[in-house]
């Protein structure tokens, strides 16, 4: 008789505060856990399925029953309040979202591992807090899991074969053509990037970003540029013939990654697209999620201190986040020239490779679960 191994179960709870970062991270985490082992059962509990459905077409905003997508069981938040529901072995509370009260009351110290998945930060204090337990009123310890960039943090979400998939996809130019055709980009513009050396910039930034200054910097270049503007990017003026703009629809996360992989420069925001831009290994400008009292700028400085991009690229990133339109225009124009552009590209590749040399977040999460047993 075949021996059947007991399943390990994961319950992931996600509240969508705003935007797509919370669900973006939880969806990647859920899929990666489900793919890591057929012995894993993964349930994802989400309070805003409509936002989820925008970045994952397989999800319905108003389902009548449980949805199963890519090996993950997806439930609405309310369904976790059912009296007869039993928690699985590992309970992941994403970004301190507070578990539903009824569900939390069922957790038992000897049966569940309770983990709070925190936001990503490059600040040094994260190393001291990663993996620490915090005893809760119900007698169960909640462990703090901090993603990060150094070996003493929880690492970054990265599928084991991601970089090989990226390189294989990039090596076939038909992949990019099909992607752009699927989005509805005009054929002449696709031919521009495919055959005529046009540059491509993907722009996923908050509405207050000085995107016009990026358009103006590209306008002054000898080579034309296709700007692919993601939903939410600010409007820009057509300033000449060197730059064309195409407004992209929402795409699923795989297509999102491919947009990053195929662009020369990526403008990304929040935390999940930031990590995916690192894996794209192309120059990018991070538009960090704005917080009160400029806390986000401290986070930006912390990250700039540990990554290897040139001082000129770091200055540009600061100007971009401070909304300094003139400085963004002139700094980007300078960076688009040789050898600054090549140096920026090289530093993006170096940082991506360095980070890929560390254990990924899912592996570290599983190690934390083992250690806390
Ligand atoms: O959407 P965001 O601005 O989310 C933010 C940040 O996570 C921030 O740190 C958090 O505090 C705040 O929400 C509440 O940016 P982020 O994190 O880059 O997430 C975007 C996700 O959306 C990412 O998973 C990629 C995905 N996406 C698609 O899959 N398809 C698309 O077409 C687009 C535009 C995005």
Ligand 1 centroid – CA 80 distance (Å): 25
Give which of 334, 329, 336 is closest to 214, Cα–Cα: 329
The HSE-up count of residue 224 (CA atoms within 13 Å, CB side) is 18
Catalytic residue among 22, 48, 216, 272: 22
Closest residue CA from atom 29 of ligand 1: 253
Alpha carbon distance 214, 365 (integer Å): 39
> Is the beta carbon of 52 within 6 A of some atom in ligand 1?
no
> Is the beta carbon of 341 within 6 A of some atom in ligand 1?
no
Output the CA–CA distances (angstroms, integers) from residue 311 to 91, 304, 347, in the order listed: 42, 9, 11
Closest residue CA from atom 25 of ligand 1: 273
Ligand 1 centroid – CA 55 distance (Å): 9
Whole-prediction pTM: 0.96
Q: What is the pLDDT along the chain (373 residues), one digit of tens a residue?
A: 444 556 799 999 999 988 999 999 999 999 999 999 999 999 999 999 999 999 999 999 998 889 999 999 999 999 999 989 999 999 999 999 999 999 999 999 999 999 999 999 999 999 999 999 999 988 999 999 999 999 999 999 999 999 999 999 999 999 999 999 999 999 999 999 999 999 999 999 999 999 999 999 999 999 999 999 999 999 999 878 999 999 999 999 999 999 999 999 999 999 999 999 999 999 999 999 999 989 999 999 999 999 888 999 999 999 999 999 999 999 999 999 999 999 999 999 999 999 999 999 999 999 999 887 7
Alpha carbon distance 76, 61 (integer Å): 9
For residues 239 and 259, the answer to whether their CB atoms sit within 8 Å is no
Long-range contact set of residues 236-239: C-beta below 8 Å, sequence gap at least 24? 236/211, 236/212, 237/212, 239/215
Alpha carbon distance 117, 365 (integer Å): 9
Ligand 1 centroid – CA 19 distance (Å): 6
Output the CA–CA distances (angstroms, integers) from residue 332 to 13, 106, 219, 303, in the order listed: 40, 55, 11, 20
Q: What is the DSSP letter of 292?
A: G
Spell out where the chain has E strands.
8-14, 40-46, 67-69, 72-76, 90-94, 113-117, 133-135, 141-145, 199-203, 225-229, 243-247, 265-269, 284-287
> Is the beta carbon of 293 within 6 A of some atom in ligand 1?
no
Most informative mutation of 156, 273, 287 for ligand 1 (most atoms within 8 A of CB): 273
Closest atom of ligand 1 to CA, residue 274: 18
Ligand 1 centroid – CA 3 distance (Å): 42
For residues 290 and 281, the answer to whether their CB atoms sit within 8 Å is no
Q: Is 293 among the residues known to form the active site?
A: no
Beta bridge partners of 269: 287
Closest residue CA from atom 8 of ligand 1: 270
Q: Is 22 among the residues known to form the active site?
A: yes
> Is the beta carbon of 271 within 6 A of some atom in ligand 1?
yes
């Amino acid at each position: 008789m075949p021996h059947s191994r007991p399943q390990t179960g994961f319950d992931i709870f996600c509240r969508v505060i705003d935007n797509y970062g919370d669900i973006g991270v939880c969806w990647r985490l859920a899929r990666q856990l489900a793919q890591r082992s057929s012995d894993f059962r993964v349930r994802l509990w989400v309070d805003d399925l409509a936002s989820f459905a925008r970045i994952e077409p397989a999800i319905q905003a108003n389902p009548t029953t449980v949805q199963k997508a890519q090996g993950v069981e997806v439930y609405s938040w309310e369904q976790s309040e059912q009296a007869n529901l039993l928690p699985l072995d590992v309970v992941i509370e994403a970004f301190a979202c507070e578990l539903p009260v009824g569900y939390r009351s069922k957790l038992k110290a000897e049966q569940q591992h309770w983990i709070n998945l925190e936001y990503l930060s490059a600040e040094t204090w994260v190393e001291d807090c990663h993996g620490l337990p915090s005893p809760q009123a119900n007698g169960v310890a909640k462990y703090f899991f901090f993603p990060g960039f150094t070996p003493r943090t929880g690492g970054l979400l990265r599928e084991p074969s991601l970089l090989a998939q990226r390189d294989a996809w990039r090596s076939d130019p038909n992949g990019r053509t099909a992607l752009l055709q699927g989005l509805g980009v005009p054929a002449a513009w696709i031919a521009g990037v495919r055959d005529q050396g046009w540059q491509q910039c993907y722009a996923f930034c908050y509405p207050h970003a000085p995107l016009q200054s990026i358009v103006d910097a590209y306008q002054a270049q000898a080579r034309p540029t296709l700007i692919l503007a993601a939903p939410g990017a600010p409007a820009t003026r057509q300033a000449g013939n060197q730059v064309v703009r195409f407004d992209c629809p929402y795409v699923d996360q795989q297509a999102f990654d491919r947009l990053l992989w195929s662009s020369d420069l990526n403008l990304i925001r929040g935390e999940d697209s930031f990590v995916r831009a690192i894996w794209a290994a192309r120059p990018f400008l991070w538009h960090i999620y704005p917080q009160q009292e400029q806390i986000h700028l401290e986070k930006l400085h912390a990250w700039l201190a540990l990554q290897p991009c040139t001082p000129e690229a770091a200055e540009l990133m600061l100007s971009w986040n401070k909304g300094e339109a003139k400085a963004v225009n002139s700094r980007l124009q300078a960076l688009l020239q040789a050898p600054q552009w090549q140096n920026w590209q090289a530093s993006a590749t170096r940082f991506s490779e360095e980070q890929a040399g560390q254990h990924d977040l899912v592996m570290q999460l599983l190690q934390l679960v083992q250690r806390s047993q």
